[in-house]
Amino acid sequence: MMTPLNPTTSSSAPNIVPQPASKVRLYELDWLRVLAILAVFLFHSMHFFDTGDWHVKNGVVHPGLDLLATILLVWMMPLIFLVSGASTFFALGKHPGREFLKDRTLRLMVPLVFGIFTHIMWQVYLERVTHHQFVGSFLQFIPYYFNGLYALGGNFAWMGLHLWYLLMLWVFSVLFLPLFLWWRQGSGRAMFAWLGNVLALPGVVYLLALPISILLIVGNPSRLDGARVWGGWSLLGYLPIFLNGFLVVSDDRLYDRVRRLRWVSLALALSLIFGLLVIYLQRGDPVYHTPYYSLLNGLYGIDAWLGLLAILGFAAQRLRFPKPVLAYANEAVLPFYVMHQTVLLTVGYVVVRWAISDLLKWAIIAGVSFTICLLLFEYLIRRHNVLRFLFGMKPLSRPVTAATPAPIPAS
């Protein structure tokens, strides 16, 4: 993303009236990326104890956690795709299409493929052992890992389990690259400018919820692209969110409109999520192709977009400032995401067997896993170019020490 003309360096988060998005670095996107990945970590750390199925489960589950998990799922992964779409806009402004595609391939597909053939295999092993589907050592399991496709009756995790996001971001980037390049030049630029001006009118930005709702309604939950198994969403639902992220930051007036509507967006999002919970608790799971299914999924898409606008609006107002910790966290966020679930499952596999309270189990699993991830990043991944490459980071031109602050990489 771009370098700010006048970055704010106050030690506390200031009440900022943002400068035009095209003239400053949107530090809020960096903060949101980091905070969203921390939310994913929190969600997965709780997944041992809620009622949903997972790779490793605690002996006792707590239905009360399902409500928190449900609320997190409305906005957690959609926020990551929104930020990814916004970052794509700035990345294409600095790199031509071919260079952009090369960078996305190295940063996304390399850690995905590396993970599939290393630590993701360990995750599948832990799942098969704890679900009583395999008996034996990890070495004995390795040949069985290549029997069939995971989620389709087999073991081979072709999507990388939690790394499916890397695969989908790469697919979206390739799929929409011609459109993005057209939007940034010639007739496409004029069309894009007109669209931005229209969406900047009061309240019109809320109409961007319609494609999200429509795709959630028409997506067949029995098919891979329509099933709500990808972070609580269907893959179809993420498509317009990714595009919306690109669109919203492309126009200064539109982005400022999002900021000014933040309180309205928040009030609408909270009201609607409450209404959705009431409806769902009264009527239960919907059946595909019924009016109730269409109503529930349509409102779900609208609420998700309202929440995303509120989050982005408050971030634009409050989080446009740099911090040394942000520079470090922004560099660590991709390696942390790649390894966090493997570390959580490894620690959790041991801790859930202990005869202690579940709250203490969760605290130990979350605290120890978070510490291990940071230590692995600082003392192994960050300092060695081979590991940086395998975890989607750019190579170093000189050795890194603990005292050397990491620069913020271009999105």
- Convert the pLDDT of each residue in 370-383 to its tens digit: 999 999 999 999 99
Q: What is the mean pLDDT of residues 193-205?
A: 90
Residue 6 lies in a domain: no
pLDDT of residue 23: 56
Binning pLDDT at 50, 70 and 90, where does residue 262 land?
Answer: very high
Residue 399 lies in a domain: no
By the 10 Å C-beta count (0-12 exposed, 13-18 middle, 19+ buried), 140 is classed as exposed
The tokens describing 27, both together, are: 């530090």
Q: Is the pLDDT of residue 102 over 70?
A: yes
Binning pLDDT at 50, 70 and 90, where does residue 191 land?
Answer: confident
Local structure of residue 163 (DSSP, 8 states): G
Residue 19 lies in a domain: no
Residue 403 lies in a domain: no
Beta-carbon contacts of 208 under 8 Å, excluding residues fewer than 6 positions away, are 199, 240, 244, 247, 248, 305
Report residue 156: phi and psi, to 5°: -70, 115
Percent of the chain with pLDDT over 70: 91
CB-CB contact of 352 with 48 (8 Å):
yes
Q: Is the pLDDT of residue 35 over 50?
A: yes
Residue 194 lies in a domain: yes
Give the Cα separation of 144 and 156 in Å (integer): 8
Q: What is the mean pLDDT of residues 185-201?
A: 84
Collapsed DSSP state (helix, strand, coil) of residue 150: strand
Give the Cα separation of 342 and 163 in Å (integer): 11
Higher pLDDT, 11 or 316: 316
CB-CB contact of 150 with 140 (8 Å):
no
Q: Is the pLDDT of residue 405 over 50?
A: no
Binning pLDDT at 50, 70 and 90, where does residue 20 land?
Answer: very low
Residue 285 lies in a domain: yes
Report residue 20: phi and psi, to 5°: -55, 140
CA 164, 114, 343, 140 torsion-angle sign = positive
pLDDT of residue 237: 95
Higher pLDDT, 70 or 364: 364
Residue 205 corresponds to which amino acid? V
pLDDT of residue 19: 41
Q: What average pLDDT does the chain have?
A: 89
Collapsed DSSP state (helix, strand, coil) of residue 154: strand
Higher pLDDT, 406 or 188: 188
Higher pLDDT, 400 or 120: 120
Helix, strand, coil share of the chain (percent; to 5): 65, 0, 30
Give the Cα separation of 152 and 156 in Å (integer): 9
Q: What is the mean pLDDT of residues 285-303?
A: 94
Q: Is the pLDDT of residue 13 over 70?
A: no
Give the Cα separation of 146 and 323 in Å (integer): 45
- Residue in the structure block whose two tokens are 């202990």: 354
Counts of helices then strands in the chain (DSSP H, E): 16, 0
Residue 331 lies in a domain: yes
Q: Is the pLDDT of residue 401 over 60?
A: no
Report in angstroms the alpha-carbon separations of 46 from 122, 178, 179, 402: 20, 40, 39, 31
Number of domains within the chain? 1
Cβ neighbours around 137 below 10 Å, total: 10
Q: What is the mean pLDDT of residues 141-158?
A: 95
Biggest CA-to-CA distance, the chain = 66
Ramachandran quadrant class, 17 (left: phi over 0; alpha: psi -120 to 50; beta: rest): beta
Residue 397 lies in a domain: no
The tokens describing 75, both together, are: 């906005």
Which residues constitute the domain of residue 198? 25-390
CB-CB contact of 187 with 245 (8 Å):
no
Question: How far is C-alpha 80 from the geometric centre of its chain's CA atoms?
Answer: 3
CB-CB contact of 166 with 118 (8 Å):
no
List the one residue out of 14, 2, 33, 3 whose CA is nearest residue 320.
14
Cα-atom radius of gyration of the chain, to the nearest Å?
22
CA 276, 277, 279, 285 torsion-angle sign = positive
pLDDT of residue 212: 97
List the one residue out of 387, 253, 291 whose CA is nearest residue 332.
387
Give the Cα separation of 214 and 45 in Å (integer): 32
pLDDT of residue 15: 41
Q: Is the pLDDT of residue 359 over 80?
A: yes
The tokens describing 191, both together, are: 């069309």
